[in-house]
A and B are shown apart, each in its own frame.
Chain A
Amino acid sequence: MKNKYKTFWILFMFLLTIMLSVMISIYWSARNYYRKDFLNILELRAQAIAHIHIDYLSDSVQKEASNSLFHEQDYIIKYTGWNDLKQQARLKGIDLRFLKKIYTHQTADFTKNEITYKGILYSPENSQDRYVVIAAAENIGFKNFFANVFQKILITIGIVFLASVICSYLISRSIYRPIARITSKVKDITSENLHLRLDEKNINDEIHELSRTFNQMLNRLEASFEIQNNFISNASHELRTPLTAIIGMSDVALTKKRTPEEYVETIKIILEEAEKLDQKTKALLFLAQTGFNGKIQENKICRVDEIVFESIETIRKIDKRYKVNVDLSLIPENPALLKVNANIQLLQLALFNIITNACKYSDYREVHCFIGSSNEYVSIIIKDEGIGIPEDELKFIYDPFFRASNTKTYDGFGIGLPLTRNIIKMHHGRINVTSVENKGTTVHIALPIASI
């Protein structure tokens, strides 16, 4: 059953139950009220009858008592003993248990064939005699009330039923209509038109929150589709460039006979290009290995600051113009807070990539590296004052072979950052890159502290 119908039925039953309960309770309280009122009247009648027939009171009481009730029957039985009472009961057709009840409780009532009986035990003043006085009549007031109200109750039940159906339908529709609208809109979005978005107004309710979440998911989906497309075009371009050079050079060399020096020159270029191709495929392979399997996992407990220093040492060996300033002003007092469980070679490679990028894209300006430790993570922050990354290209930085539009004059394949991210992910860490074009880039790497 659809949720829409479930909600409808739940609401309908709920409303119907409430309305019927209200009506039944009103009916019962009215019924009880009428009965109680009628019993009071019968009691007064019994007392009046006793005053007239036993005490022989004045005319005014007689006059008052002469207005009899509908189908009224009155009984006066003098108590002279149990055997006599039994006989009287049989003669007058009254239930003996009712008489006994009157005798024990002074007063009693019961109803039989729509006739209500009310009896009292009466003792005249200055006399030892006891009388059982019973007034019996039909409760015509209640009968009329029920006859009048029953029809109206039936009509009201019908109206209540209809009102419940309409209310439940409207409520369930108002709840599920926006969801149905979202569903139909989402169905329209396919891989061909991923740019479509759901309508989202700036209203803070669950439905708009859902639309916003869907849109955010679509943004991510669109970005990943774009990344995939970029990867294929970038990868084929990167792999084709050296191949084109190799084929071109070979073609040119074979068009006519060359001198041995020319052949050596051509083969050197071909070798150079083949090496580039080899480097690129190796980097791709490494990226695939770090990204997809967990086999390269020879983890050891090591100190992050040592790995940072070793990476910087390697960078300085490659190019002495690179300047890295390591800030240890917030390094924790407790060395245990600097220890991480890591694959040293991979972590060195990741830091090497980040620091090299920082040095390369800041034209040999000083790069700041900071190490600090919170209670759960060791933070390594690398900040440069280089060319930065254009804001709209930041989302593609982890895309293999992607290179920002302002990096054309710098060497590189676009493998370093995706590789670093894979390595950090393997170590259950976080990496965050923030950048402002022409101002610089900040990379924050957080690695979980090893529990020793």
Chain B
Amino acid sequence: MQKILIPTDFQMSSLFMLKTILSEKRENEPLECTFVVGHYLSDSITSLLFYDPKRIVEQFMHPGFLEGLEIVLNKYSNKQIQIKYDVFTGLTHSSFKNFVRAKAFDCAYIIDNYEMKFSKSSGMDFSKFLLKQPSLLNIQKIALKSPSFEVGITGIFTS
């Protein structure tokens, strides 16, 4: 199974990335796509004690994201896809290296020249860690230019 890391802000662009990945892959190739959101963890003891990645993911997720995700997955229902969510809270290159090794990702997809738009101020774009350590993972860059796709998904995201 190929494990793919997708740095995300849980906006339309992440679904566009997923669609691009799925359109490129063959039918019998099982995939595990993990949407990873970067999160600046505060220094307070309570946020450490009550650290819950699921809750953090829910806070970042746009209300239309899951509906959009289901639309994309239904389009490629013949493919073997597993979707996961995770949070990266590190601040250094080595912490990112450890994270990637622990999760055993095979490759990562990022959007070229894209500025992430987080729904919370604690969101962090960790793509810089990926780009500065090219030997760590196989990085694929995708250009965000698909007006027809945007028509549909934007409709859901603005609802």
Residue of A nearest to B155 (CB): A381
B71–A379 CB distance below 8 A = yes
Tell me, yes or no, whether B30 is within 8 Å of chain A by CB.
Answer: no
Residues of chain A within 8 A (CB-CB) of B152 are 327, 329-330, 370-372, 379, 381
B158–A442 CB distance below 8 A = yes
Interface residues of B in 74-92 (CB under 8 A from A): 74-78
B-side interface residues toward A, CB under 8 Å? Answer: 19, 66-68, 70-72, 74-78, 148-149, 151-152, 154-156, 158-159
Interface residues of A in 380-433 (CB under 8 A from B): 381, 383, 430, 432
A333–B155 CB distance below 8 A = no
Given contacts A379-B156, A444-B158, contact A333 B151 (CB under 8 A): no
A379–B149 CB distance below 8 A = no
Residues of chain A within 8 A (CB-CB) of B156 are 372, 379, 381, 444
Number of chain A interface residues as a range: 20 to 34
B72–A330 CB distance below 8 A = yes
Residue of B nearest to A373 (CB): B74
B155–A383 CB distance below 8 A = yes
Contact of A374 (CB < 8 Å), options: B74, B151, B158: B74
A327–B159 CB distance below 8 A = no
Tell me, yes or no, whether A133 is within 8 Å of chain B by CB.
Answer: no
Tell me, yes or no, whether A331 is within 8 Å of chain B by CB.
Answer: yes
Contact of A379 (CB < 8 Å), options: B19, B76, B155: B155
Cα–Cα distance between A329 and B66 once the two chains are bound (Å): 18
Residue of B nearest to A369 (CB): B151
A-side interface residues toward B, CB under 8 Å? Answer: 325, 327, 329-334, 337, 368, 370-375, 377, 379, 381, 383, 430, 432, 434, 442-444, 446
State the Cβ distance, A386 to closest chain B Cβ, in Å: 14
State the Cβ distance, B24 to closest chain A Cβ, in Å: 14
6 A-B contacts (beta carbon < 8 Å) = A330-B19, A332-B75, A374-B66, A379-B156, A381-B155, A442-B155
Residue of B nearest to A442 (CB): B155
A383–B154 CB distance below 8 A = yes
A444–B74 CB distance below 8 A = no
Contact of A381 (CB < 8 Å), options: B66, B72, B75, B151: B151
Cα–Cα distance between A325 and B152 once the two chains are bound (Å): 12
A383–B71 CB distance below 8 A = no
Residues of chain B within 8 A (CB-CB) of A368 are 148, 151
Cα–Cα distance between A364 and B67 once the two chains are bound (Å): 31
Given contacts A377-B67, A383-B155, A444-B155, contact A333 B149 (CB under 8 A): no
Cα–Cα distance between A373 and B72 once the two chains are bound (Å): 8
State the Cβ distance, B58 to closest chain A Cβ, in Å: 18
State the Cβ distance, A394 to closest chain B Cβ, in Å: 12
Cα–Cα distance between A370 and B70 once the two chains are bound (Å): 15
Question: Beyond A443-B155, A446-B159: 7 further Cβ-contacts under 8 Å?
Answer: A333-B78, A334-B77, A368-B151, A372-B71, A374-B66, A442-B158, A444-B156
Contact of B159 (CB < 8 Å), options: A330, A333, A373, A432: A432
Given contacts A327-B148, A379-B156, A444-B155, contact A373 B71 (CB under 8 A): yes
Residue of B nearest to A327 (CB): B148
Residue of A nearest to B74 (CB): A332
Residues of chain B within 8 A (CB-CB) of A434 are 158-159
Residue of B nearest to A367 (CB): B151
Interface centre among B68, B71, B156, B158 (most CB of A within 10 A): B71
Residues of chain B within 8 A (CB-CB) of A371 are 152
A374–B70 CB distance below 8 A = yes
B154–A330 CB distance below 8 A = no
Interface centre among B19, B66, B68, B75 (most CB of A within 10 A): B75
Residues of chain A within 8 A (CB-CB) of B19 are 330
Residues of chain B within 8 A (CB-CB) of A383 are 151, 154-155
Residues of chain A within 8 A (CB-CB) of B151 are 327, 368, 370, 381, 383
A375–B74 CB distance below 8 A = yes
Residues of chain B within 8 A (CB-CB) of A443 are 155
Residue of B nearest to A325 (CB): B148
Cα–Cα distance between A440 and B62 once the two chains are bound (Å): 23
A329–B74 CB distance below 8 A = no
B70–A331 CB distance below 8 A = no
Cα–Cα distance between A332 and B78 once the two chains are bound (Å): 10
Given contacts A442-B154, A442-B155, contact A334 B74 (CB under 8 A): yes
Residues of chain B within 8 A (CB-CB) of A379 are 67, 71, 152, 155-156
Residues of chain A within 8 A (CB-CB) of B72 are 330
Residues of chain B within 8 A (CB-CB) of A333 are 74-78
B149–A374 CB distance below 8 A = no
Residues of chain A within 8 A (CB-CB) of B149 are 327, 329-330
Cα–Cα distance between A368 and B68 once the two chains are bound (Å): 18
B75–A331 CB distance below 8 A = yes
Cα–Cα distance between A329 and B70 once the two chains are bound (Å): 14
State the Cβ distance, B158 to closest chain A Cβ, in Å: 4
Residue of B nearest to A333 (CB): B77
Residues of chain A within 8 A (CB-CB) of B155 are 370, 379, 381, 383, 442-444
